Structure 1
């Protein structure tokens, strides 16, 4: 499996990757910090509902689900940079 998640996050750069978390693709969206048994809403949309490889194949990116799953630690500016980075990563890998 790729170390690029379906939303464009490059998991290998995260300190949790390979330790507490193996990435959403390997965990089927059920990451260690999510409520037990629940998958990430982005993963559920892309993989289970739209049957796409990742968000890069979707015409609605960035969508309202990306906003709903925003990391609350990000400022508005950090969040915009995060989205831009994820879109670039998806474009390179789609």
Structure 2
């Protein structure tokens, strides 16, 4: 999997924070800047630490409740649905 594609299928390189305040969840092992200090992103924690998988694409439950619980509040319902579809498609390509 490409380093800039996170375990949840997000392309970190398109984020304005990438390379500035964040190097992506793969390089920081899920301890991204927007997570509470010292805490691992719940999606990263589940797939890498609990299930010992490389990414959510290997899991039969994708997208799961954790994805919906960690929804970015800036997205409308429609934007979030599109984002989930895009991330799943990215994971299938990888």
- Deviation for aligned residue 1:24: 0.4
Q: TM-score, normalised by structure 2?
A: 0.96
List structure 1 segments (4+ residues) > 4 angstroms apart after TM superposition.
none
- Structure richer in helix, relative to its length: 1
3-state DSSP of counterpart to 1:5: coil
Q: TM-score, normalised by structure 1?
A: 0.96
Gaps of 5+ in 2: none
Q: Aligned partners of 2:30 and 2:85: how far apart in 1?
A: 22
Aligned runs of 1:37-48 on 2, under 5 Å? 37-48=38-49
3-state DSSP of counterpart to 1:46: helix
CA-atom RMSD in angstroms: 0.8
Residue equivalent to 2:5: 4
Residue equivalent to 1:87: 88
Residue equivalent to 2:16: 15
Gaps of 5+ in 1: none
Give aligned pairs, total: 93
